[in-house]
Structure 1
């Protein structure tokens, strides 16, 4: 029911500006890291990653839709829904809905002659993961809290956006017990990109995640490179494609390789 309400909400708020793509001013949307710029958009993702180590293979497939609505020049709200399929050697496939989530973002652009600077922050809250089994990577019975902030810079065909993220599990009381320990990590991402044509942009994003408990939660650690490309059309949105390449040794990286296809449709709410 919550998922249906979210979809209806974003559809109703975006319909008045349908078919009006925004101008090229501002920052292009990165393909992997969480952007600190604010948008009014719908985004669809299809993704895959796997890990094969010590004769155990993990495969994760996902499909999701994300909606963001910019209700002022500097603030937006965001949410997403999706389905996830996870499998591991000698275990049955697990198919679940993503966690219900909602967030708020702040992003402000400062003009400096022919360049632009961006500063932003956000907070995203995630519900429990319903009908899911406990896995080493996450506890479905806990909530998630994820604040982030970052900076951006744009000059000519070049732009770069960064993100620092912290995530912690929590319960209704916000306290750990002797038998309940929260998984926590911090994550740093950077997304440089170049416009090689009016409608084509190439990305070389990097993302590093480190758990606070480096022993118990070592399977959360990764350092990944995401080369990708996006192509903007005049009336039919933006199409993008990126691959995931693990940088750390297999024993230390949560993922080996992956791929993601994304579609964006941006709406102009400035009128």
Structure 2
């Protein structure tokens, strides 16, 4: 059971259960042998989830699911909600239940929570760095296989937004796609118009460019979004000026906590960064436990 008083960004229960169930089977395919031989069946554990450094919480429902799916008798009481900031030393949740179940679920619960909270914390730092510029911070598909839904939820908890969730959600022509067009001698504008004619009205069309001179032909094709990839700052500003509101402008490449504010000040609408998910470190959270027979 999980109780909380604050709203949190939505993460479907089915996604949580699928990921957590697979992780639990991986970690204890035939049960926890150590717990079974060392802990009495009637032993009860009480544990506090404690922050060992400051951050932004993400994954408290995932954390709770690890215990619930191990044994429904375990109760998790959340003291903070996803998206909340916390300081070192704060107790974020309390876990109570059969000791064997609490010990068995502990590692999976912490692994996922620390991962998600690390992503939320890094995202929050990047979002804070561009405050006041109007630029949105978004993730990419550079996620851990099998954990995309969780990691992208964590980005939202940190104040970021999500790019297309999968290859099935939007059209995004990148350098490799454009290279094929060039090899076939196709006109870029005409190729984009042809692609647009095959799409429904609700499907977004984005094209990546890496040179200023590609912008006008791409705009003429009727795109919704132009990604300016690995542009130097002066070229980003020039690109925004050329596009002049005719499409959403996304900047990507060489995005770090140190560079993101300068990128945002060029006037781009969106800054995408794979580092939010692939380079975030796990945040240090501990589960301090006492067991009574």
TM range (shorter): under 0.3
Greater per-residue helix proportion: 2
- Bigger CA radius of gyration: 2
TM-score between the two structures when normalised by the length of structure 2 = 0.22
TM-score between the two structures when normalised by the length of structure 1 = 0.23
